């Protein structure tokens, strides 16, 4: 117990290597306690030791097969490894155990999106919103998916809702700008790109897409300035 408490303390203060060492000691003394494997798995995931994290979450599931959080976190580690299909299986199991698990629906939606399963992704995002309507990233994910399906009006509605919840996320303004650009609402699109740039001055794609909107509005000078800024940021990113 002492090692577990000390490991939790180290985890809270960011001493992740020290936390792993103490969880190792705790597991030696009590190898049947799933919480130590679970916490060690979380730390390993933070350290990007994803395969090792997956092993720990798998041990938890072996000891406690109804642990929805273990399936969920194993799914998250698999997503980070690009193993989307297997991650979906874990998120699905987590949802079977815990049907109101909004974040599991959200993440399963993201995984489905990455596999091109857009209709399934929208279903997942919609269910997550039904359970918890206050998560901006759920609306953002559904908006991105609707954009991929060329449902631009619906995408704008979702991006707008995401912005209401979190008005400081540059990517949402950019996404809404893309949908408006597709609908030829150039002035409104330009305003969204400008807001994205205000939040993140190094958002290269926002400059590029704002240049497209400006060109459609016959602001050739402004469009050229944005392209110059885009090229500058891209060169700096490549240098880094």
User: Using CB atoms within 10 A of its CB, is residue 236 exposed (0-12), middle (13-18) or buried (19+)?
Assistant: exposed
User: What does the alpha-carbon distance between residue 193 and residue 189 come to, in Å, rounded to a whole number?
Assistant: 6
How much is the pLDDT for 233?
A: 96
Residues 6+ apart with CB under 8 A from 44: 20, 50, 52, 53, 56
100, 131 contact by CB (below 8 A): yes
Fill in the DSSP letter of residue 97: H
How much is the pLDDT for 11?
A: 59
Residue 1 has pLDDT above 90, yes or no: no
Residue 176 has pLDDT above 80, yes or no: yes
Six token digits for residue 68: 């929805």
How much is the pLDDT for 156?
A: 99
The average pLDDT across 84-103 equals 99
**Residue range 9-49, pLDDT digits in tens:** 565 656 556 677 777 878 888 889 998 899 899 989 999 99
Residue 232 has pLDDT above 80, yes or no: yes
Residue that is written with structure tokens 């000078």 in the block: 221
**Residue range 54-69, pLDDT digits in tens:** 999 999 999 999 999 9
Please provide the average confidence, as pLDDT, over all residues in the chain.
93
Residue 237 has pLDDT above 90, yes or no: no
User: Using CB atoms within 10 A of its CB, is residue 39 exposed (0-12), middle (13-18) or buried (19+)?
Assistant: buried
Can you say how many angstroms the Cα of residue 186 is from the centroid of all Cα atoms in its chain?
28
Q: Which long-range contacts (CB under 8 A, 24 or more apart) does 53-58 make?
A: 53/77, 54/78
How much is the pLDDT for 28?
A: 82
Cα distance from N-terminal residue to C-terminal residue, the chain: 45
Six token digits for residue 179: 């949908």
How much is the pLDDT for 12?
A: 65
How much is the pLDDT for 41?
A: 93
User: What does the alpha-carbon distance between residue 206 and residue 200 come to, in Å, rounded to a whole number?
Assistant: 9
Residue that is written with structure tokens 């800024």 in the block: 229
Fill in the DSSP letter of residue 211: H
**Residue range 211-223, pLDDT digits in tens:** 999 999 999 999 9
How much is the pLDDT for 6?
A: 58
List the one residue out of 40, 45, 44 whose CA is nearest residue 7. Answer: 40
**Residue range 95-154, pLDDT digits in tens:** 999 999 999 999 999 999 999 999 999 999 999 999 999 999 999 999 999 999 999 999
Residue 164 has pLDDT above 60, yes or no: yes
Residues 6+ apart with CB under 8 A from 139: 125, 129, 158, 159, 161, 162, 165
């Amino acid at each position: 117990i002492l090692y577990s408490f000390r490991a939790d303390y180290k985890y809270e203060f960011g001493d992740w290597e020290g936390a792993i060492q103490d969880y190792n000691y705790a597991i030696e003394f009590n190898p049947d306690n799933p919480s130590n494997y679970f916490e060690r798995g979380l730390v390993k995931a933070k350290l990007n030791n994803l395969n090792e994290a997956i092993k720990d979450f798998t041990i938890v599931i072996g000891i406690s097969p109804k642990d929805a959080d273990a399936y969920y976190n194993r799914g998250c580690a698999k997503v980070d490894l690009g193993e989307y299909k297997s991650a979906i299986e874990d998120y699905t199991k987590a949802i079977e155990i815990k049907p109101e698990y909004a974040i599991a629906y959200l993440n399963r939606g993201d995984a489905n999106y990455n596999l091109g399963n857009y209709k399934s992704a929208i279903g997942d995002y919609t269910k997550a919103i039904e359970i918890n309507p206050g998560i901006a990233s759920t609306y953002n994910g559904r908006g991105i998916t609707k954009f991929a399906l060329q449902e631009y009006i619906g995408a704008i509605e979702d991006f707008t809702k995401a912005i209401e919840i979190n008005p400081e996320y540059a990517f949402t303004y950019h996404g809404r700008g893309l949908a408006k650009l597709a609908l030829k609402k150039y002035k409104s699109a330009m305003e969204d790109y400008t807001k994205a740039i205000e939040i993140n001055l190094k958002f290269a794609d926002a400059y590029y897409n704002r240049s497209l909107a400006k060109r459609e509005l016959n602001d050739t000078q402004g469009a050229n300035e944005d392209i110059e800024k885009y090229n500058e940021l891209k060169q700096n990113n490549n240098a880094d």
